[in-house]
Structure 1
């Protein structure tokens, strides 16, 4: 997909390669450092899995990438554009970055179709017919065409999460961010969401996903990054990072995962 930049001055552009580039990201909450000089590069069509203990910075990183949280220091470039430049319109940036959280965040008083088309119609001023046509096409693709007029409380957790993913896809994002999208699901519903993520990967979608599903990270990710203390301390192919980690902290984390029966 070709993205036309209508919002930013040339000074915000950089020779950074790859789709996404983060340099020296720092973020603190109430004096507690969550991201501590984190660097990350993501190539177009690459799937990067973020693993690490709770509090290691995975969710905070995703929120900063989508400009939901301001960084305290560092830079983020998307397609070579410095999106953390204060002159950037964050709403225009978010059109190119879809994000899905572990909680579905669907509006209970709106139908599935209205949940999906709300932002395209209200924020991006698309016509109802155009927005609903695209939404129905995506719902059909994920096997939910018959639920377009249903309300969220009539759907299973897996169905609600698929609707949330469709809502993030409706603007044809350049980058998808997935934050523990299966953690709130019953075990028997996890598979249907993971199957959708596999389909997105096969379509070439660039994704950064935080997950505790190590088997899924091994299967779907091109690269696994282990975060600890707000930094990426080890990264590489899933087979190496999950099978033969080089860092002692990574080995310690994976031992605990194995002991919990999650690898």
Structure 2
């Protein structure tokens, strides 16, 4: 398995956010995390990227225990891309500078090499003409695609996407989802937390329903979204259907 989470526990004070959570993701697989707000989806992604520590359990990447205290988290993060629901682009820097900042400052890559790789990705997503633009000159969908490119520029083994369409106007969601679908076609391993149930059904190899910090149910999208076995999953999906989001 490329990613393995076993018995992961995370608390904030007295509040248990992740409770003995286990999840595996194979190479080239796309796993969609669904569940109500507060179910632990975003926290799980932050724990995998080592932005948030865990109290118990083990997380492995390519078989290596990355939650081992002796591990250098910066080296781990070079192999994992994380994109948040807010774009987090620096407004005073151009698109190209935003993308190349981490490769040159953190990973010590040559500036010319970082720019070449950045332009390669911008061309692939149709934003090469925006390289010298500033974020406030881009639409929300374009800014989110730039944020995804920033995560891809180091050729990560794993891409984590945290509700990347939730801050977008409805008409801009499609261009970001198309980019994610293209990445799946190229074999990118992804774990995405999403409220876009229709998209999860189209792009995910497996869907995991989180409830109270645990993976309550997981399986192929048609099964979990179309014929769930757990009553709590059915209750959650019925509300999604009532809201017209599935």
TM over 0.5: yes
- 1:38 maps to what in 2? 21
Asked whether 1:231 is paired with 2:221, we answer no
Aligned length: 246
The structure 2 residue matched to 1:85, chosen from 59, 68, 86, is 68
- 2:30 maps to what in 1? 47
SS in 2 for 1:62: helix
Which structure 2 residue ranges, 5 or more long, are not aligned?
none
- 1:101 maps to what in 2? 84
The 2-side partners of 1:46 and 1:131 are apart by 27
CA displacement, residues 66-104 of structure 1 (integer Å, 9 cap, x when unaligned): 000001110000000000000000000000000000000
The structure 1 residue matched to 2:143, chosen from 157, 160, 165, is 160
The 1-side partners of 2:192 and 2:201 are apart by 12
Question: 4+ residue stretches of structure 1 with deviation over 3 A?
Answer: none
- 1:72 maps to what in 2? 55
The 2-side partners of 1:197 and 1:75 are apart by 28
Residues 170-249 of structure 1: matches in 2 within 5 Å? 170-249=153-232
* Alpha-carbon RMSD: 0.4
Shift of 1:31: 1.5
The 2-side partners of 1:111 and 1:72 are apart by 39
Shift of 1:30: 2.0
Residues 116-131 of structure 1: matches in 2 within 5 Å? 116-131=99-114
Residues 7-18 of structure 1: matches in 2 within 5 Å? 18=1
Which structure 1 residue ranges, 5 or more long, are not aligned?
1-17
- 2:123 maps to what in 1? 140
SS in 2 for 1:106: coil
TM-score normalized with structure 2 length = 1.00
